[in-house]
Structure 1
Amino acid sequence: MSVAAHYLWWIVALVLIAIEVIMPGYFMLWIGIGAAATGLLVLLLPGLSMLVQAIVFVVLAFVSCAVYWYAVRPALQKGEQDDGRLNRRGEQLIGRRYVLIEAIVNGRGKAKVGDGQWLVSGPDLPAGSTVEVVAVEGATLKVRPA
């Protein structure tokens, strides 16, 4: 192999990472990292035969994929919080406090939630009172005085 064999491994790494960009899924990225690490090793140890380089590449590709599978992926999944309420906005409001913009009269009123307003039901309270959401019934928040 020529003196610049490490460039071959870096080109392979770039091609694999480019494939990852086109078809995302993490797999090719980590194999590409293995190829880049092989290129670095070949740069540091230029006398390695092509067979040894190929074996080193396979080992590094497996190691980098294992690092992804056992270390990176669990950390990424831990960051994802799926509490089952993603598309049920009303349930996400339970436990939060809001200010009434319309008094609750005969059990009905309105509260300011973010930049909008929601219908609320609960005990009669004057406008400006702070309420806490305790449940959701359809598009109406059930509240209690906070």
Structure 2
Amino acid sequence: MIAGWSDAALWFAGAIVLVIAEILAPGFFLIFLAVGAGIAGLVAIVPGVPVLVQALVCAGATAATVALGWRWYRGARMGVAVDPLLNDRAARLIGERVSVCEPIVGGAGRVRVADGSWPAHGADAAAGAYVRVVAVRDGALVVEPVAP
């Protein structure tokens, strides 16, 4: 106990200071320390728990929350893997069925994808025909005809 403050009050005050510091200087790393201090404060409420045990609880809780945070940031939350094509719009189009908006003649034309059009290479196809995207090469979609 310091200056009339209980150990629990000191841990909770430290946790609050760390949360405020996290809000003022965001980086999402002080929050882990704040959680550890808060859990140590809960342990300190129990009468007779030595300060060393409280500090070890704080360290263990901080380590556990850092591990959980690391797992969260790595995208492994609830077993969901990070989407490897998240920022690769062209690669996400592979396998999609799209319509030809400018006829593919001599192996080159354009296809409609959502509200835009992309250059396309493939077998000749009339405007309005449907094709499937099989690859992306040099910013153009490689397409093949599909049955209507």
TM-score calculated relative to the size of structure 1: 0.75
Residue matched to 1:89: 89
Q: Counterpart in 2 of 1:78?
A: 75
Task: Report if the CA contact (8 A) 1:32-1:61 is conserved.
Answer: no
**Aligned amino acid, residue 136 of structure 2:** V
Q: Give the Å deviation of 1:65.
A: 2.9
Pair 1:29–1:5, CA change in 2 (3 A)? same
Compute the RMSD of aligned alpha carbons: 2.7
- In structure 1, the partner of 2:132 is 132
Cα distance in 2 for partners of 1:131, 1:65 equals 54
- Structure 1 residues 62 and 8 mapped into 2: Cα distance closer, same or farther (>3 Å)? closer
| Unpaired runs of at least 5, structure 1 | none
The structure with the greater share of residues assigned to helix is 1
Q: Which residue does the alignment assign to 2:121?
A: 121
- The residue matched to 1:128 in structure 2 has which SS? coil
Deviation of 1:103 after TM superposition, in Å, equals: 2.2
* Kept in 1: contact 2:100–2:110 (CA 8 A): yes
Q: Provide structure 2 residue ranges, at least 5 long, that are not aligned to the other structure.
A: none
Letter in 1 for 2:127: A
Q: 1:24 aligns with which of 2, 27, 30?
A: 27
Q: CA deviation at 1:3?
A: 6.8
Task: Give the SS at the match of 2:132.
Answer: strand
Q: How many residues align?
A: 139
Is 1:67 aligned to 2:64, yes or no?
Answer: yes
Q: 1:77 offset after TM fit, Å?
A: 1.0
Q: 1:138 to 1:106 in 2, by over 3 A?
A: same
| 1:139 Cα deviation after fit | 2.3
The share of aligned pairs that are identical, in percent, is 30
**Post-superposition CA distance 1:122-145 (Å, at most 9, x none):** 111122222111222222111011
- Residues 3-46 of structure 1, C-alpha deviation per residue, up to 9 Å, x if partnerless? 754332211001112223314142x2222112111222233x24
